[in-house]
Amino acid sequence: MRSKPIESVVLVVASLVGLMGFGALSHGGEAPRPSAAAIQADLDALVKAARAEGELTFYSTATENVAKRSGDAFTAKYGIKTQFIRLGGTQMRQRYSAEAEAGNVVADLVLNAGGNTVGYAEDGIRRGFAESISEAGLPVVRSGEFPAKFVTGPTAIIQIAPWLIIYNSDKLKGADVPKDWADLLHPRFKGQILIPNPGSADSYIDVWSLILDKYGEKFFAQLVAQSPRQFASGVPAAQGLGAGEGLVALPGVLAVATGLRAKGAPLDTSTPEYTTGVEMQIMLSARAKAKHPAASRLFANYLMTPEGNKVFNDDPGGMTVYDISKLPRQYESPKSNALARRDQIIKLLGF
């Protein structure tokens, strides 16, 4: 069932205020924690039920290697087969919703980022085909092991990949490397900026919306006056940059730059202090609708443990939620209303 890769940024949500704003994600007061023995008994029962089902299917907007690596590690640990279909965010939502409306929920679990994933999950819960992570009884949540600030209620954030600027390290050095978005307005970048189509992935809208909030429409007019080159999406833009077609490509994520650099491309990155990121989230299908409800909850539980979260984030640029010490100082999570600006942003950037 594995699909051919469809490019989307790796590559996660409720509005947060800066790094410390993650605390706003916690819901309700602290309930008494079950005993370690009770948590282990719950996990044992879940493992038993999941092994009886024997398999699960998930949809993922994460890159193919991340989805495969995570599924393989889960299978090795529990003996439960996994299969996945990798889709872009918009395509995944359309497919999942259409299948749910037809009464045929194929994906037991969804890994998705960008475009108000929380709102999408809330809508799914209201319509009866999704289940809230906070109410799924996952042992890793009930025990308090998973950081509560990354449980949004409907979903759980399992990865943060900050948006940054990719630059050609053969052509830019030292003080000429842009440190912030506003640095791109310097005359040296005239005709040297490569920009992916913001309409190619919802998560691009998240970062451009943040930039719009900070700098206003005037910044976009000045950026367009720099005569940026347009690309269909992020990977072709970074490939063009590595081939010497410009000085910078943006917005980008570290995984794309390091992947191409490993193949010899002269690429490096600069991360603005004020930025947002791709936040990968888990959404569970409702137990009454899913074909493998126990296996899906066990897989979600695994990805939320330190062990599973490390496997999922075992690539440059994917930050485990168990250590966010390297997040930019003025990092803000994507705003829930960013997608409402999609058409405005596409127009402002001249696409």
pLDDT tens readout for residues 57-98: 999 988 888 999 999 999 999 999 999 999 888 888 899 999
Residue boundaries of the structural domains of the chain = 19-160+277-336, 163-276+340-348
Mean pLDDT to the nearest integer, 304-324? 92
Closest residue by Cα to residue 288 from 107, 112, 130:
130
Q: What is the pLDDT of residues 6-49, one digit of tens each?
A: 333 333 333 333 333 443 343 445 567 899 999 999 999 999 99
Look at residue 215 and tell me whether its pLDDT is greater than 70.
yes
Count of C-beta atoms within a 10 Å radius of residue 327: 17
Count of C-beta atoms within a 10 Å radius of residue 243: 12
**pLDDT at residue 110 in the model:** 97
Look at residue 190 and tell me whether its pLDDT is greater than 60.
yes
Share of the chain above pLDDT 70, in %: 91
Mean pLDDT across the chain: 90
**pLDDT at residue 31 in the model:** 61
- Architecture in CATH for domain 19-160+277-336: 3-Layer(aba) Sandwich (3.40)
How confident is residue 203, by pLDDT bands cut at 50, 70 and 90? confident
**pLDDT at residue 30 in the model:** 56
SS3 readout for the chain: CCCCCCCCCCCCCCCCCCHHHHHHHCCCCCCCCCCHHHHHHHHHHHHHHHHHHCEEEEEECCCHHHHHHHHHHHHHHHCCEEEEEECCHHHHHHHHHHHHHCCCCCCCEEEECCCCHHHHHHHHHHCCCEECHHHCCCHHHHCCCCCHHHECCCCEEEEEEECEEEEECCCCCHHHCCCCHHHHHCHHHCCCEEEECHHHCHHHHHHHHHHHHHHHHHHHHHHHCCCCEEECCHHHHHHHHHCCCCCEEEEECHHHHHHHHCCCCCEEEECCCCCCEEEEEEEEECCCCCCCHHHHHHHHHHHHCHHHHHHHCCCCCCECCCCCCCCCCCCCCCCCCHHHHHHHHHHHCCC
Mean pLDDT to the nearest integer, 330-349? 93
Mean pLDDT to the nearest integer, 283-288? 97
For the segment(s) 163-276+340-348, the CATH number from 3.40.50.300, 3.40.190.10, 3.40.50.10890, 3.40.1160.10 is 3.40.190.10
**pLDDT at residue 24 in the model:** 37
- pTM listed for this prediction: 0.83
**pLDDT at residue 5 in the model:** 37
